[in-house]
Chains A and B, each alone.
Chain A
């Protein structure tokens, strides 16, 4: 698989998309799409089963309560920890002026984190469209953390594994629990030629 990735890096984007599609179909044949046996032929063509979405923040509604951070770490790890959240409420208040900016993963069409990963631990989940990190494969090298232009790939406090927003398997908990309705999951905008990923490992 790692070799395949190395090859795709050399491909044009167009080629990659078709290659990715082929991979997914192959994976489907191998049983990943079990339960979708009656999916019509044309539906199996795109690699993704859903339109990829990402979490959009209406910054003017956000009150900075950090409930999104809390539910994020609780949903994924069963604990609360401000360093263990894939949505980040950045706050400057007090003497540093008054601002709140909530930052989320863009689930980029062509993600820097995915491209930087040396062990192919990052891929786009075909079921949710989210770019996810496979924690078993992750070696904790921090390349994705350095690569992400938004600072949304983070290391766990123990420093052993990276993590990022995985859209909670399709039902983002931060969106469901935001009391100000400042968060929503919106379809990712991309030019077809640019969407990278869509393979299932």
Chain B
């Protein structure tokens, strides 16, 4: 039967240079669908807590979803699961671009890479021909150089690449694996894991068919999905192609969620004004660049910067998270400096969020006298010092000087420096928080605290949902939420499971982030594409399974409810939050409030809705069984973790 699955996976052992394929069975498809869920399942099976991220046995898993490579809106995902070198838990990242579809066209649903090669290698996948090739000439190259070199070696431009830069080779803990330079597995350090395996990258070219079980039905579902995207979120539909996520800067500052000066303030008009989309449009000529099958086209590239001291520099997209990380968080309101740092991050292959966050941590420590010029090598690391920020970014990429300390990530750098600097490391479960301040949104605060991956901004992107008052009855938010009053956070659990649908099915978060695509539309597309009948509700069960599996993985790693927390700053320091006019109904007309987060209250309601135990942060054994995870529950029991 033709369906949207390629039907097999690729397994590569770099140490033994063994390449095998394995069938992706019907039962696995039905139970684990694809994407994160499939990746997590394999990670659960193949990773053991005693390994550690840089152990050769740590599997590096890339999965596509069933919709990847079809023309469902934004169906271009490639997901990555592995143990994270920076956080206390796993990496679970997705990248857009064109690599995911191409991998499927080559005939593989997933790749699992294990072992460490004795010498630098890269992997060349050309339909059935898979080779492990010598990468000694590529080693040390920046991502764009490596990409070009690989295309020269294979003699074709119709190749998609996934490369690490020098930072990944040097095991900078937040190194990225970059898909065609602009798109990347950003959070959690997948690039460092690749570096630890001596794997420079993967290149793929495919010419196989991806079929559909029912073409006509699929087309009508796709049409419906497009209509939802357009009607349920007109802002994104109109603005994403124009300015991409850079357009959020103004809004997030307006809603007082900007992490200015390492989260010390929640808004700063001057800083935000220097790096928002107006500055972006004023300073740059850009060209649209879309990932595969995407009508939103949020990405751009800036061919060449013509003005200022960075003239001649070309850069990829300036995403909101990049501008918030390297800009607002470091107090830098200079879009050219941010673009320069962004280009350095892309070339060396480092995560702009963790990089910006770690520099911001160092800046705060510097201002508080915990770090001196002796530590920084003479650099004046003050908030707002754009040159220092750009310089530090490059030092981190090269892992030189003080950059070598920062390249360990905020938490480890803080333990190297000591002197009470841990207090200013804005991390959750070891991973730096991304760029929305928890004070302006209670669900935003909870989202960070309970996120299984650490300080991650996805599933769900709650701040926008609260700020704009989006609703979705199908996923438990029938009416708008109050962003300022703690408690009543139960709906976040359902919302979280709902937004994970995109990760499982292989579409982009931007198809679901503002609650555009309804679960049943996904069900319809999935059924028509694969021939496996499943409605929205059943798919949501699969996402719940994913959430539970992630929780179980964390528990196996020794994490518990204690780790579902935020840096103390958000619970202790009350900071002014401006209340925009449309949200003043929640504050009785007050235009400005002082706010800190009452996380206990938020967590209690969330745990109750999710049915989690207050100590372990895990659901009951009955829940595990209901979701078909009885074996997982058994393993937890064998580890001595009690389930209610």
List residues of A whose CB falls within 8 A of some B CB: 61-67, 70-71, 74, 77-84, 90-96, 98, 100, 157, 179-180
Nearest Cβ distance between residue B484 and chain A, in whole angstroms? 38
The answer for the CA separation of A96 and B98 in the assembled complex, in Å, is: 15
Closest to A60 in B: B287
Most chain-A CB neighbours within 10 Å: which of B102, B211, B288, B314?
B288
Contact present for B289 and A64 (CB under 8 Å): yes
Question: Which residue of A77, A83, A98, A157 contacts B289 across the interface (Cβ within 8 Å)?
Answer: A98
Q: Which residues of A have CB within 8 Å of B215? A: 74, 78
Q: Which 3 A-B pairs have the closest CB atoms?
A: A95-B148, A179-B295, A65-B290
Q: Is the CB of A95 within 8 A of B297?
A: no
19 residue pairs from A and B, CB less than 8 Å apart: A61-B288, A65-B290, A65-B294, A65-B297, A66-B293, A67-B71, A70-B70, A79-B211, A80-B70, A81-B209, A84-B209, A90-B157, A92-B157, A93-B182, A93-B289, A95-B181, A96-B151, A179-B297, A180-B297
Chain A residues in 8 Å Cβ range of B206? 82
Decide if A63 touches B181 in the complex (CB within 8 Å): no
Asked if B301 is at the interface of the complex by the 8 Å CB criterion, the answer is yes
Cβ of B436 under 8 Å from chain A:
no
- Please state if B148 and A81 are interface contacts (CB–CB under 8 Å): no
The interface bits of chain B over 177-191 (1 if a CB of A lies within 8 angstroms of the residue's CB, else 0) are: 000111000000000
Shortest CB-to-CB span from A96 to chain B, Å, is 5
Q: A74-B215, A94-B181 given; name 13 further pairs at CB < 8 Å.
A: A63-B241, A63-B297, A65-B290, A65-B293, A66-B293, A70-B71, A74-B212, A80-B71, A80-B210, A81-B105, A93-B301, A94-B151, A95-B146
In the bound complex, CA of A157 to CA of B151 (Å)? 21
Contact, CB under 8 Å: A71 / B148: no
Chain A: CB-nearest residue to B161: A94
**Which B residues contact A (CB, under 8 angstroms)?**
2, 69-71, 98, 101-102, 105, 143-149, 151, 157-158, 161, 180-182, 206-212, 215, 219, 241, 287-297, 301, 303, 314
State whether A65 touches B181 (Cβ < 8 A): no
Q: Identify whether the interface residues of A are mostly helix, strand, loop, or mixed.
A: loop
Instruction: State whether B145 touches A65 (Cβ < 8 A).
Output: no
Question: Which residues of chain A are within 8 angstroms of B208 by Cβ–Cβ distance?
Answer: 81, 157
Q: Count the A-B residue pairs with Cβ separation under 8 angstroms: how many?
A: 110
Q: Which residues of A contact B289 (CB under 8 A)?
A: 63-64, 93, 98, 100
**Interfacial chain B residues near A100, Cβ < 8 Å:** 287, 289
Instruction: Give CA–CA (A123, B287) in the complex, Å.
Output: 39
Q: Which residues of B contact A67 (CB under 8 A)?
A: 71, 293-295
> How far apart are the CA atoms of A66 and B71 in the complex, in Å?
9
Report yes or no: B207 in contact with A65, Cβ–Cβ below 8 A: no
Cβ-defined contact, A95 with B147, below 8 A: yes
Q: Which residues of B contact A180 (CB under 8 A)?
A: 241, 288, 295, 297
In the complex, the answer to whether A95 meets B149 with C-beta atoms within 8 Å is yes
Most chain B beta carbons < 10 A, residue from A71, A74, A82, A84: A82
A66 to B289, CA, bound (A): 11
Q: Which of B143, B208, B296 has the most CB of A within 10 A?
A: B208
Set of chain A residues within 8 Å of B105, measured between Cβ atoms: 80-82
A61 to chain B, nearest CB (A): 8
A100–B158 alpha-carbon span in the complex (Å) = 12
Interface contact B303-A98, CB-CB below 8 Å: yes
Bound Cα distance A65, B292 (Å): 5
User: What is the bound-complex CA distance between A79 and B291, given in angstroms?
Assistant: 20
Q: How far is the CA of A67 from the CA of B98 in the complex (A)?
A: 12
Contact A82 B207 (CB under 8 A): yes
A179-B74 Cα distance, complex, nearest whole Å: 12
Give the complex CA separation of A98 and B98 in angstroms.
15
Q: How far is the CB of B146 from chain A (nearest CB, A)?
A: 7
Q: A79-B2, A80-B210, A93-B182 are in contact. Are A71 and B71 (CB under 8 A)?
A: yes
Residues of B within 8 A of A63 (CB): 241, 288-290, 297
Q: How far is the CB of B570 from chain A (nearest CB, A)?
A: 39
Complex-state Cα separation, A74 to B210, whole angstroms: 10
- Least CB distance from A152 to B in Å reads 15
State whether B207 touches A83 (Cβ < 8 A). yes
CB neighbours of A64 from chain B (8 A): 288-290
Give complex CA distance A93, B303 in Å: 11
**Distance in angstroms between the alpha carbons of A93 and B346 in the assembled complex:** 13
List residues of chain A with CB within 8 A of the CB of B147.
94-96
Q: Give Cα A179 to B230, complex, Å.
A: 11
Nearest neighbor of B75 in chain A, beta-carbon distance: A70
